[in-house]
Structure 1
């Protein structure tokens, strides 16, 4: 891939979700397949971008999501 990220469709987009490990809740704004490597070796991961009640967004692995 030439881009460092790629948007991915998800069934919970624009719905209320919970990040299971932290218990934080918010609206799922986007799911992005993102290159998260800090070294020269590529490491891609699907990250969920969630907007909390404060309006600030946070990320978590897509596998950590459940409907709220």
Structure 2
């Protein structure tokens, strides 16, 4: 099995973003390509965005769900 994750550069890192799936806004802290399969036989990799929300807690969403907050 290869590494469990790797950091991915993203143009919106440290910028204010919105998760279009939940509507929650926050700061994009990292984008990580993670093996989310839990299986050695069949790896499944996905790019996850880590967003720090207004509460200070981070949550994840698919990187395709991230959009910049207009006017910031």
Following TM superposition, where does structure 1 have runs of at least 4 consecutive aligned residues deviating by more than 4 angstroms?
none
Aligned-pair distance for 1:29? 0.2
Distance (Å, rounded) in 2 between the aligned partners of 1:8 and 1:38: 21
- Partner of 1:10: helix, strand, or coil? coil
Distance (Å, rounded) in 2 between the aligned partners of 1:8 and 1:47: 9
Q: Confirm whether residue 22 of structure 1 aligns to residue 22 of structure 2.
A: yes
Aligned-pair distance for 1:18? 0.3
CA RMSD of aligned residues (A): 1.2
- Partner of 2:64: helix, strand, or coil? helix
Distance (Å, rounded) in 2 between the aligned partners of 1:33 and 1:6: 5
Q: Confirm whether residue 49 of structure 1 aligns to residue 50 of structure 2.
A: yes
Distance (Å, rounded) in 2 between the aligned partners of 1:59 and 1:22: 11
Distance (Å, rounded) in 1 between the aligned partners of 2:54 and 2:21: 18
Q: Confirm whether residue 63 of structure 1 aligns to residue 64 of structure 2.
A: yes
What is the count of residue pairs matched by the alignment? 68
Provide structure 2 residue ranges, at least 5 long, that are not aligned to the other structure.
none
Provide structure 1 residue ranges, at least 5 long, that are not aligned to the other structure.
none
Scaled by the length of structure 2, the TM-score of the pair is: 0.89
Which of the pair has more CA radius of gyration?
Answer: 2
